[in-house]
Amino acid sequence: MRPLIVIGNWKMNGSLASNQDWIKTVARGMESGMPSGRKFVVCPPFPYLSQCATLIKEHSLAFLGLGAQDASAHISGAFTGEVAAAMLKEMGCSYVIVGHSERRQMHQETDEVVAAKALQVLDAGMTPVICVGETADERNSGRAEEVVCGQVAKQVFVLQDRLADCLIAYEPVWAIGTGKVASAQIAQDMHRVIRLQLTEFNGDVAEHVGILYGGSVKPDNAVELFAMPDIDGGLVGGASLNPQDFLAICQA
């Protein structure tokens, strides 16, 4: 049985003061207990990882894991501005998002780069959250499945059985930050396609890999999305900035 996982991706938001309030509010909300069989993760920007790790410890937030929004495809060396997976592990991270569409689009990250990053994250002992998803044009021209399966195929090719230790996040680009959530059925259909593709590769891997949905997940659509058989949780951007909304999605 795959656990339901909710990951909050703060993107380039937060401050020392607001992070403190966020963790305090979430700690208070989680105090009275959370649904069992679930995992919750928050991914702040790099400079705040240490602060958030300390706050999570101070509040004894056993329910909340720490994640990062990206990692370098390289192990160490002359890569100005980049952050190595081993450094993230040292800061207390257990999860790292790789291949987010914002990185693919604004930083020209290819599937090969994304797979190299995922390998670094695995080698450092953390779980990569590998993002895939089609643009509006690709969906409108009937190519959504082809595009997403192509992205997944590259990861399968490189990661092979190690994919069992990864999460995949299906994030249709047209749904990210737009308020246009994919209907639960559209999301489920794509998750099913991804699961079948993984099954063709290796049935055991397919059973293990959690496939999260991302793109305008909110408290009022999370219940329906998470009820779908192939949706194993959510990667939440905008709504994760509000601790009450994040809590509501975690409880959905």
166 binds ligand PGA (CB under 6 A): no
Among 65, 133, 172, 215, binds ligand PGA (CB under 6 A): 215
128: CB partners within 8 A, 6+ apart: 95, 96, 97, 98, 117, 118, 121, 122, 166, 167
**Is 243 near ligand PGA (CB under 6 A)?**
no
Active site residue 100: yes
Question: Using the rule CB under 6 A, is 216 a contact of ligand PGA?
Answer: yes
Place of tokens 């592990």: 89
Q: Does 8 bind ligand PGA (CB under 6 A)?
A: no
The per-residue DSSP string of 59-110 comes to: TT-TTEEEEES---SSSSSS-TT---HHHHHHTT--EEEES-HHHHHHS---
Cβ 213 vs Cβ 191: under 8 Å: yes
The active-site residue out of 100, 102, 109, 191 is: 100
* Site for ligand PGA contains 128 (CB under 6 A): no
Q: What is d(CA 89, CA 114) in angstroms, rounded to the nearest whole number?
A: 18
Q: Is 237 in the site for ligand PGA (CB under 6 A)?
A: yes
Smaller CB distance to ligand PGA: residue 65 or 215? 215
Q: Which stretch binds ligand PGA (CB under 6 A): 160-168, 192-200, 211-219, 242-250?
A: 211-219
Nearest to 48 by CA among 27, 21, 80: 21
Window contacting ligand PGA (CB under 6 A); options: 16-24, 42-50, 201-209, 235-243: 235-243
Residue 171 engages ligand PGA in binding (rule: CB under 6 A): yes
Q: Which residue has the tokens 């509000």?
A: 242
Member of 8, 44, 99, 214 binding ligand PGA (CB under 6 A): 214
Q: Among residues 102, 109, 134, 171, which one is catalytic?
A: 171
Question: Site for ligand PGA (CB under 6 A): which residue of 217, 222, 231, 252?
Answer: 217
Rounded Cα distance between 180 and 46, Å, is 28
Is-catalytic flag, 171? yes
User: Which stretch in 13-21, 42-50, 170-178, 242-250 sits in contact with ligand PGA by CB under 6 A?
Assistant: 170-178
Angle between helices 144-159 and 111-123 (to 10 degrees): 40
Measure the CA–CA gap between 32 and 169, rounded to whole angstroms: 29
Closest CA relative to residue 124, chosen from 152, 95, 164: 95
The residues of the shown chain that bind ligand PGA, judged by CB under 6 A, are 9, 171, 176-177, 214-217, 235-239
Positions marked catalytic: 100, 171
